Amino acid sequence: MARYLKPIIVSALLVPWCWLAYRVYLETLQVGSGLGADPVEGLIHYLGEWSLIVLLSAFSVTPLSRQLRWPVLIRSRRLIGVFAFVFVITHALVFAVFYAELQWRVFLREVIERPYITLGMASLIILALLTVTSTRGWQRRLGRRWKQLHRWVYLAVPLALLHLLWLRKDGYADVFIYSLWAAVMAAERIHHWRAGERQKQSRQTKASVSI
Ligand code: HEM
């Protein structure tokens, strides 16, 4: 099973792209038939939703691998993280091309003036940094600092959730589900960290007693 894990994950992650390609194809046949009444809005929403789903999936890999006692799962963490970044950057590019019409001044003004875009952009910058440094080479180069840097995902996830919460005017059901998903995964990580700290403390106490 471990041998097939990566191909299975890649295939699963390609499904939303294939579905998008099909919808774009329908759109080329008849305007409004693939991406909705406003195709650009349809595109940006589709990519935004998938950005969040794949980002939360990447955030879930470590807790799930621990709870399922399946360490092999960790090997797919980088792959899912890179896919999340590809979704997010495409989502932002659609905004830059169709809303800001590649005018960087307009783009920058939107980022500064619209708080939900500021939040999304902050999350994107963190994810870009994490994607670039996710390779073995960077892991070796940064040593202990690599882990510290990759803890920034704890900021990238809430920023992405706030981006969605801020832009929504009504219908918060999915925001609630995504937030609950992130909170459960964060709780598992905190629980694991506290158990580690307790173990460390008891080892230190034992060592000082034996001295
Ligand atoms: C990690 C980063 C990001 C995530 C996870 C994310 C996710 C999302 C989600 C889930 C939506 C709502 C989709 C819906 O309502 O169905 C959305 C909408 C949107 N996002 Fe993002 N986004 C991110 C970053 C960005 C960035 C960097 C930009 C722009 C530079 C951006 C621009 C927009 C815009 C313009 C909308 C549509 C707003 C509207 O409906 O009026 N997002 N995003």
Cα separation of 64 and 57, whole Å?
Answer: 10
Which of 173, 150, 164, 188 has the alpha carbon at shortest distance from 52?
A: 164
> Any residues with CB less than 8 A from the CB of 101 and at least 6 apart, and which?
none
Q: Whose CA is nearest to atom 20 of ligand 1?
A: 48
Q: Is the CB of 162 under 6 A from ligand 1?
A: no
Report CA(106)–ligand 1 centroid distance (Å). 17
Report CA(120)–ligand 1 centroid distance (Å). 7
Report CA(23)–ligand 1 centroid distance (Å). 19
> Any residues with CB less than 8 A from the CB of 69 and at least 6 apart, and which?
none
Q: How confident is the model over 15-28, as pLDDT tens digits? A: 999 999 999 999 99
Cα separation of 183 and 186, whole Å?
Answer: 5
Q: Read off the pLDDT of each residue in 196-202 and give the average, rounded to a whole number.
A: 90
In angstroms and rounded to an integer, the radius of gyration of the C-alpha atoms of the chain is 20
Q: How confident is the model over 33-83, as pLDDT tens digits? A: 999 999 999 999 999 999 999 999 999 999 999 999 999 999 999 999 999
Which of 170, 127, 117, 174 has the alpha carbon at shortest distance from 152?
A: 127
Q: Read off the pLDDT of each residue in 122-136 and give the average, rounded to a whole number.
A: 98
Cα separation of 173 and 183, whole Å?
Answer: 15
Q: Which domain holds residue 31?
A: 2-210
Predicted TM-score (pTM) of the model is 0.94
Crossing angle between the packed helical segments 153-167 and 115-132, to the nearest 10 degrees: 150
**Structural domain count, the chain:** 1
